[in-house]
Amino acid sequence: MDIKNLTIKGESFKKPLILAGPCSAESREQTLETASELASFGVKIFRAGIWKPRTKPGGFEGVGERGLEWLKEVKEVTGMLTATEVATSKHIEMALRAGVDILWLGARTTANPFAVQEISDSLAGTNVTVLVKNPVNPDPELWLGAVERLMNSGITNIAAVHRGFSTYEKGLFRNLPHWHIPIELKRRVPSLTILCDPSHIGGRPELIYPISQQAMDMGFDGLMVETHINPSVALSDKEQQITPYTLNSIIKALVIRDTVDSTERLNELRREMDEVDERLLDLISKRMAISREIGRYKVEHNMPVLQPMRYDYTVNRRIAQASELLVNEEFIRTVLEAIHEESVRQQLDIFGKEDVNG
């Protein structure tokens, strides 16, 4: 795929490229105060959501078109470039008319080829910079397909934004990083600029720095960070936004490597392994929670903790699966025995508490 190195308003950028600003433009004062403080720290691109469709109706869904006037004022007062999310051809028409410099497609939009095609058709003949966030589900083909649709409409200034992938499981991350997917995208399109959105991956302020540094270590070109003048009162995603001052501290702390270390691939594999280990811990925790529920059920129905037939069935079934997955059967037996032993201990603990309370 023939993609040029990203330029914005005809100019190349210095790594790391930083886009920062609130999840949503909520008021003129909040927008301008956040932008002014970011500009004082040297941030050149201000991002803010104007249209914010939520998962469920009834929440704050953005200020709409009037917020574009605030973005115009940000440009006039600070000299910053502006960026906002678009999801329809009407959004594009209004944003371009207001002079917005950078448009981005959100995760839900990227996952919908019909929406991406509508946007691509609307952008034909323009020279605007477009950022494409990964789709909500971990599908590199959907992500790449969105980029291709834009290219087919003549859009040349395109970058990808890694914001993580949705999961119903509650764990360390709000959205699972699945770092191997942006790595695969970069492998297939080496010239594609890739940014990281640590706000949506982490979902918590304390994770912004480590995720940002990890992205830099992996050769990402920049960051898109949700930044609010007063996150505690934000109308959307307040749990993951940080202040401009905190962002400035993070940027100063980042280590940017000009050359690729010879152990880069090893580090990538280790990061993938760390991610899998974190998910394993989450799953084991969930399994033990189910074991405790089973223990309570057995107490209520006067059933014994140990049920050998069930245990034999489970172990034999999993061992059969192990061979299909190229995992050593004896290793899986050892793991299952350890998990079963801990499950029994958790259930016996329930029985002990019932005996004491009884």
Average pLDDT for 335-351:
83
Neighbours of 106 (CB within 10 A): 23
pLDDT in tens, 172-183: 888 999 998 999
Residue closest to 76 by CA, chosen among 35, 43, 18: 35
Task: Name the burial class of residue 245, with classes exposed (0-12), middle (13-18) and buried (19+) by CB atoms within 10 angstroms of its CB.
Answer: middle
- pLDDT higher at 29 or 302: 29
The percent of residues in the chain predicted with pLDDT above 70, rounded, is 94
**β-strands 193-196, 158-162 pairing:** parallel
Neighbours of 225 (CB within 10 A): 29
Average pLDDT for 56-60:
78
| pLDDT over threshold 70, residue 294 | yes
Tell me whether domains 17-253 and 264-357 share a fold: no
Task: Name the burial class of residue 357, with classes exposed (0-12), middle (13-18) and buried (19+) by CB atoms within 10 angstroms of its CB.
Answer: exposed
Contact 38, 46 (CB under 8 A): yes
- Compute the chain's Rg from CA coordinates: 24
3-state SS assignment for residue 225:
strand
| pLDDT over threshold 80, residue 271 | no
Contact 47, 18 (CB under 8 A): no
Domain ranges of the chain: 17-253, 264-357
Neighbours of 144 (CB within 10 A): 18
Q: Of 2.40.30.20, 1.10.260.30, 1.10.10.10, 1.20.59.10, which CATH number belongs to 264-357?
A: 1.20.59.10
Q: What are 42's two structure tokens?
A: 């040297």
The pLDDT assigned to 38 comes to 98
Q: Which DSSP helix (H) or strand (E) runs through 181?
A: helix 180-188
The whole-chain average pLDDT of the chain stands at 88
Q: What are 54's two structure tokens?
A: 């939520």
Point out the least confidently predicted range of 152-156, 195-199, 352-356: 352-356
Q: Within 13 Å and on the Cβ side, how many CA atoms surround 202? A: 24
Would you say domain 17-253 falls under CATH 3.20.20.70? yes
Residue 267's identity, in one-letter code, is N
pLDDT in tens, 69-113: 999 999 999 999 999 999 999 999 999 999 999 999 999 999 999
pLDDT class of 356 with cuts at 50, 70, 90: very low
- pLDDT higher at 250 or 219: 250
β strands within 101-199, DSSP E? 102-105, 129-133, 158-162, 193-196
- pLDDT higher at 239 or 328: 239
Phi, psi of 8, rounded to the nearest 5 degrees: -125, 120
